[in-house]
Amino acid sequence: MWLFILTATGAGQYRWSSYRAKLGLAEATWLDSDPCFDSLGNTDVKRRVGYRTFVEDRVAAIAAHQFIQTALDRAQLTGNSLFIDEIESRTVLRIESRGPGGPLKTRN
């Protein structure tokens, strides 16, 4: 569940996250010392930079995985527009990235 929260709203916006406290942006007297966090650097600044990098890299990896999984589920290409143009010219097919499903049906 926390992965969804990180990607949907950002770690710093989730009410129960220690992210802001670990970055020194909020006070959290309830937060215990964490050996993993402490190992990220020998100063507060280095630990905070290391933690921010760790969280941002993880969120980016999750977003990339979701992008690739969606493309695979829809049988779509995952390249940029130049790559897609090249594939279109080689296959003489028009390639579009569309959302799921077809047009909505109306009831009479």
- Residue 21 or 13, more confident: 21
Q: What's the confidence (pLDDT) of residue 18?
A: 85
- The answer to whether residues 62 and 7 touch, using CB atoms and an 8 Å cutoff, is yes
Q: What's the confidence (pLDDT) of residue 100?
A: 64
pLDDT over 50 (residue 7): no
- The answer to whether residues 78 and 67 touch, using CB atoms and an 8 Å cutoff, is yes
pTM of the prediction? 0.56
Summarised one tens digit per residue, pLDDT across range 63-78 is 888 888 888 887 788 7
Q: Report d(CA 89, CA 103) in Å as an integer.
A: 28
Average pLDDT, integer, range 28-47: 89
